[in-house]
Amino acid sequence: MPPAEDRAERAERILDAAAGLLLRAGYRRTTIEDVAERADVGKGTVYLHWKNREELFLAVLLRESVRTLEDLVHTLAADPLAARLSRLTEIQYANVLKRPLLRAGYADDADTLGKLLPKLHGKLDPRHAGAFVDYLELLASNDLLRTDRPVGELVVAYQAVLNGFLGRTPPPEPALIADIVAHSFEPLAVSTRQLRAVAPRALELFTEAVALDRKQLERAY
């Protein structure tokens, strides 16, 4: 059996090939044979990692999702003020727009992804969604989120706003969603001191989420 590192490198090469073909030809017109040829491996080698075509392409999307969250974590580590909900949303929204495969999923681009994106959420670690809820509760407990509605209701409303923006073609500018989130979910005054105080815990929550999702992804490696 080849070393674990070699296997992981091969899996990454296969995912790179699958991602490129998804963007160029779309889900319906891309076969395992196409991916194997582009990755310079045998068809059977692809099946050593993923049991079928759908699992392979879901892994492509999961990797994109993980990388997007990693970008967010790097930003939070460099800038504590990015812990503000409106700023964090602007950053994450812009990150998704920069990744065509994730963008295609939210835009319901059936030619590129079919109906894969809803199934992606089943591939995320079950604790993934909990990290965002914990983050909102952290903001609420530090007077950085409106308090006239339960956090659970704000989660639903926030997701509706975010998905609505991502589903538009062309997508609105990131600054607009930041403005909407600021006026809809934040108090009138946001304390810089409080943002700096909550930033380490926010960073910890999203770092944990990245680690959980990356473990899900690497199970096929």
State yes or no: pLDDT of 217 exceeds 80. Answer: yes
- 57-74 average pLDDT score: 94
Residue 84 DSSP code: S
Instruction: Kindly list the domain boundaries of the chain, sorted by start residue.
Output: 64-218
- Encode pLDDT of 37-54 as tens digits: 999 999 999 999 999 999
State yes or no: pLDDT of 100 exceeds 50. Answer: yes
More confident residue, 129 or 33: 33
* pLDDT confidence band for 3 (50 / 70 / 90): low
Q: What is the dihedral of CA 197, 199, 203, 209, to 10 degrees?
A: 90
**Phi, psi of 125, deg, nearest 5:** -60, 135
- Encode pLDDT of 75-91 as tens digits: 999 999 999 999 999 99
Do 91 and 67 touch, CB atoms closer than 8 A? no
State yes or no: pLDDT of 126 exceeds 50. Answer: yes
At 1 the pLDDT is 46
More confident residue, 108 or 90: 90
H helix or E strand, kind and range, residue 101:
helix 100-106
Distance between CA 63 and CA 15 in Å, rounded?
Answer: 9
In percent, the amount of the chain with pLDDT more than 70 equals: 96
At 5 the pLDDT is 54
Q: Across the chain, what does the average pLDDT equal?
A: 91
- 17-38 average pLDDT score: 94
